[in-house]
Amino acid sequence: MKVAISGKGGVGKTTLAGIMARILDERGNKVLAIDADPDANLADAIGFSEDELKLVKPIAEMEEFIRERTGSKKGQYGTFFKLNPKVDDIPDRFSVVKGNIKLVILGNIAKGGGGCFCPENVLLKNLISHVLIERDEFVIVDMEAGLEHLGRGTTEFVDSLIVVVEPGKRSIQTAKDIKRLAGDLGIKNVYVVGNKIKGDEDVFLLKEELDGFSYLGSIGYNENLLKADRLGVSPYDMDNKIKEEVIKILDNLRALHV
């Protein structure tokens, strides 16, 4: 399966992505986790140690490699470069591995007005297309609020876009914006996961406000997550309740895609 996770900043995208990856790992599924958020912290949510992380560098920061693959020249924007650079070896060469999980960190793409058409952007977009189309692992892409990384023509390979929301107007509005973008890109299955839920009335509010979405499940507000964040450990290793909640979400997702 190929799952992309989006939503407003701070709603819990990375938390969900990290726990999902660990559950799948425990079940023996091979997982390719892609951190596509410039504010990259999926590694912590999965539970990689600092030493393990020293082994991996965000792809966007590998300037020499990007130049080599795209044929671009240093400091020369607007000149010619390859639009279809070789990317198929990247997930295996530039990832860090924990159990069955392979993590690739994309890093920060410079954004020019109207979306930067520059070599690193082209390389990363090609990479995402490649993993969505060709890789046969369970792919989880931890994204930012926008859908910039998803190019037309590859979105048909996204089995599901999960939009994480919390009970509040702002993340609900972001979810609606994301759904519209997803519709423009032709992504068929857009789901909602409610996070930081404190009671039934929260779920009610989300379902009412987001009635065009299919509601995949809820994650309760959980003090242990804040503790995990402070200690820099994966919430997966801190708390069983959230594990159960995410297992339900994953099973609901799979049931919809058999």
Ligand X SMILES: Nc1ncnc2c1ncn2[C@@H]1O[C@H](COP(=O)(O)OP(=O)(O)O)[C@@H](O)[C@H]1O
Considering only CA atoms, which of 55, 56, 51, 80 is closest in space to residue 67? 80
14 touches Mg ion by CB under 5 A? yes
Tell me how far apart the alpha carbons of residues 97 and 222 are, in angstroms, rounded to a whole number: 28
* Nearest-approach distance from CB 148 to ligand X, in angstroms: 16
Binders in 210-249 for ligand X, by CB under 6 A: 219, 221-222, 225-226, 229
Radius of gyration of the chain (CA): 18
Which x/- pattern, by CB under 6 A, does the window 43-82 give for ligand X?
A: ----------------------------------------
Do residues 40 and 107 touch, judged by C-beta distance below 8 A? Answer: yes
Question: What is the CB neighbour count within 10 angstroms for residue 93?
Answer: 9
* Nearest-approach distance from CB 141 to ligand X, in angstroms: 12
Tell me how far apart the alpha carbons of residues 164 and 170 are, in angstroms, rounded to a whole number: 12
Do residues 176 and 210 touch, judged by C-beta distance below 8 A? Answer: yes
- The interface region with ligand X, picked from 5-13, 54-62, 149-157, 172-180 by CB under 6 A, is 5-13
H or E element: which one contains 77?
none
Binders in 30-59 for Mg ion, by CB under 5 A: 37
- The interface region with Mg ion, picked from 11-19, 72-80, 155-163, 244-252 by CB under 5 A, is 11-19
11 touches ligand X by CB under 6 A? yes
How many angstroms from the chain centroid is the CA of residue 45?
12
* Nearest-approach distance from CB 196 to ligand X, in angstroms: 5
User: Residue 226: which of ligand X, Mg ion, none does it interact with, CB under 5 to 8 A by kind?
Assistant: ligand X
15 touches ligand X by CB under 6 A? yes
Considering only CA atoms, which of 205, 146, 201, 197 is closest in space to residue 172? 205
And the tokens for 138?
Answer: 């369970």
* Nearest-approach distance from CB 119 to ligand X, in angstroms: 27
Considering only CA atoms, which of 46, 53, 38 is closest in space to residue 14? 46
User: Positive or negative, the Cα torsion across 192, 8, 146, 242?
Assistant: negative
* Nearest-approach distance from CB 219 to ligand X, in angstroms: 5
User: What is the size of the binding site for ligand X (CB under 6 A)?
Assistant: 16
* Nearest-approach distance from CB 18 to ligand X, in angstroms: 8
234 touches Mg ion by CB under 5 A? no
And the tokens for 64?
Answer: 């020499």
Residues that bind ligand X (CB under 6 A): 7, 9-15, 195-196, 219, 221-222, 225-226, 229
Residues that bind Mg ion (CB under 5 A): 13-14, 37
